[in-house]
Structure formats: structure tokens, C-alpha cells
Amino acid sequence: MPVSTLPQGIYGITDPSLLPGESLFTGVESALKGGCRVIQYRDKQSKPDQALAKALRLKALCHKYQAALIINDSLALALDSDADGLHLGKSDGHLSEARQALGDKKIIGVTCHSDLQYAQDCINQGASYCAFGRFFESQTKPEAPPCSLETFKQALQLSIPVLAIGGISIDNIARFRDTPPHNIAVINSLFGQADIYQAALALSAAFKQIQTY
């Protein structure tokens, strides 16, 4: 079944260097079995026809586990695959155009880093959720601008779900116990682990724990 609102919980972002070939699908299914609620398909390497084939397989997997599939950056791929949504970076395209193309029932997320005004502007243009971060040292994007937990606390007052991203792992997720996000996005701490299923279980349990403080 398609998902029209962002499920709360662990939000896994794929990386071709961590999930080459068929391991993309086995790794994602392991994450979903372990409780991951959202998968963002991020792939800058595949040709359009290959990316579409992968996105369709990932969508079927996500819906099998009542999770959402979000496409990174590509409006065309989000449309062609009929994925649950699209994620846009600050320089990846015009949000208002994406909302018009995708309609009201698709999820659109935006990267805001630590920019509260930009987040509000995106809400006005139809964003479904905002991503803030990085909070800790990130292997994937070490150059990403930092975001403080104080800024994140302010971001949680926004009218849409707020996601935390950037260097978050099982070792530091408890730092969010006073500012629990709607989602925590992970790459290496999920798909870079030897046992993705166990990593997803542990992250999901830790996420639930910070929601109860």
C-alpha cells in the first residue's frame, strides 16, 4: 500500500558503496525487518533505466513492511516509480514545482541544515518534513554544516515533522532524549554494519526509548 504521510522512526538512506549489486535489496529488507520505517533511495551512479528498476523493487519491499520509499533528488524518478515521496537538498530543485508535479498525496522532504527560516519557507511551499543536521562527525558528508541541539529544539516547533541527520549512531542517539525528532536518518550506522538487521533492531529500540523520556 502506498504511504502518504512520513512514518515515524528510523529513516535509512542507501549508499551504493555500502550496498553494491543485489545487496541493495537484501540489505534494505534486513533493515525493514529490523524496524526501519523509511528508506531513501540515494544513487548517483545508476543510469535512469537501472535506477527505475531498482526503485520499483525497493518500493515493493517497503510496502511489504508498511514502510515508505523516498527518492533522493530526482523528481523524474519519483514520478516514474510512483514512489511515496521525494527528498530535495537545498540546491536540488524547486520545491513548489515538485509539489505541483507530485500532487498533494506524496511526501516531500527538504534538507535545511540549521536554517529555520528556510524551513518555514519550505513549509509554505508544501514541504511534508524538514531534515536538520549534521549533529556529529559524518562519514558520508563530513563537510555538511553543523546544527546545534538548541537550534534543533527550535525546529521541533515547526508545523511539520522534523528529522535529524548527520553522524547519528547507536552510541549518540540518546543525546536526543530532550529533543526527540520524528525521524532519525542513518547511513553508515545502519547499512555500514556487518549485521544490518541487528543494527536496525538496536536503532529502532533506541529511537523508541528517546521518545519516552
Q: What mean pLDDT is predicted for residues 161-182?
A: 97
What pLDDT, on the 0 to 100 scale, is given for residue 161?
97
Superfamily of domain 9-210: Aldolase class I (3.20.20.70)
- How many beta carbons lie within 10 A of that of residue 193, not counting itself? 21
- For the chain, the distance separating the N- and C-terminal CA atoms, rounded to the nearest angstrom, is 32
Instruction: Single out the residue of 169, 190, 173 nearest to residue 28, CA to CA.
Output: 190
Q: What is the pLDDT of residues 82-122, one digit of tens each?
A: 999 999 998 766 899 999 999 999 999 999 999 999 999 99
The strand ranges marked E within 53-189 are 68-72, 85-88, 107-113, 129-132, 162-165, 183-186
**How far is residue 48's CA from residue 46's CA, in Å, rounded to a whole number?**
6
What pLDDT, on the 0 to 100 scale, is given for residue 70?
99
Locus of grid cell 547511513: 187
12: enclosing H helix or E strand? strand 9-13
What pLDDT, on the 0 to 100 scale, is given for residue 93?
67
Q: What mean pLDDT is predicted for residues 140-147?
A: 79
pLDDT at 171 over 90: yes
The partner residues of 69 in beta bridges, in order of sequence, read 39
Q: What is the pLDDT of residues 25-71, one digit of tens each?
A: 999 999 999 999 999 999 999 999 999 999 999 999 999 999 999 99
Give this prediction's pTM.
0.95
**How far is residue 170's CA from residue 151's CA, in Å, rounded to a whole number?**
22
What pLDDT, on the 0 to 100 scale, is given for residue 92?
61
pLDDT at 139 over 80: no
